[in-house]
Chains A and B, each alone.
Chain A
Amino acid sequence: MSVAELRVPRDPVYVGLVRLVVAQAARLAGVSQDRVEDVKIAVAEALANANSGVEPGADTIPIELRFGRSAAGFEVVVVCPERRSDAVDRGADPGAELLDPKLSFTLIEGLTDEFSHEIHGDLMRLRFVVGLT
């Protein structure tokens, strides 16, 4: 996998920027324009999940993205701290009620060719692949 890496703060303001960067990388990797639109939505979903459960103003670990062409296609991996259910329960995360993780994962699954969601300790890892043809 020829990989680009990006690290961004857990702040929704960066989601549009990341979408554009990853979309351009997908184009360069040979993803068709129709599928680039799928990549943009899948990235937005991954980052919406990554930004969920964050207490406003808290010092948090950034979101890490790795993306590029692999044997499977155009691959994106997003690693971030696991959603904090206590922040959601206390109503400390005003964005939490916007996100339905089930709906979000359904969308990523429907738009991509491979999708996985894993929890490793305190970290959540989302990976998806979009084919190049």
Chain B
Amino acid sequence: MELTLEHRTEGDTTVLEVAGEVDVYTAPKLREKLVELVSDGHYNIIVDMTKVDFLDSTGLGVLVGGLKRVRSHNGTLELVCNQERILKIFRITGLTKVFPIHDTLEEALS
């Protein structure tokens, strides 16, 4: 399955909707998108992962890289994820302590 990425602005926050599979083949596409957003001045980003079917450590690495980039501009990167199999990956790697993770986009935006 392909990876699709769409972004929109909600107030001073940019929502990046990620759908499909994030693995070693597709993760560069996500990284490029995050680099592009930060380069364009989007420093408060919510990555909506509710439509992600698969995520591995290369995807985690890209998200950590994105977090470092926005933090260098005093920005934030938060996640929306409500799928147990994806949340399990964040828990095993300890990244639940690094990323604010919300159940819904509404919660993340509030």
| Partner-B contacts on A (CB < 8 A) | 12-13, 15-16, 19, 34, 37, 40-41, 44-45, 47-48, 51, 94-95, 97-100, 103-104, 106-107, 110-111
B:84-110 near A, CB below 8 Å: 85, 88-89, 92-93
A-B contact count (CB 8 A): 67
A16 CA / B24 CA spacing, docked (Å): 9
Please, which residue of chain B has its CB at the minimum distance from the CB of A14? B25
Contact, CB under 8 Å: A48 / B92: no
Contact, CB under 8 Å: B24 / A15: yes
Q: B interface, how many residues as a size bin? A: 20 to 34
**A45-B56 contact given A37-B85, A98-B28, CB 8 Å threshold:** yes
Interface of A: prevailing SS: helix
| A-binding segment of B7-15, B43-51, B58-66, B71-79 | B58-66
Contact, CB under 8 Å: A107 / B56: yes
Given B1, B58, B62, B89, which contacts A48 in the complex, CB threshold below 8 Å? B58
Task: Give the shortest distance, in Å, between A107 (CB) and chain B (any CB).
Answer: 5
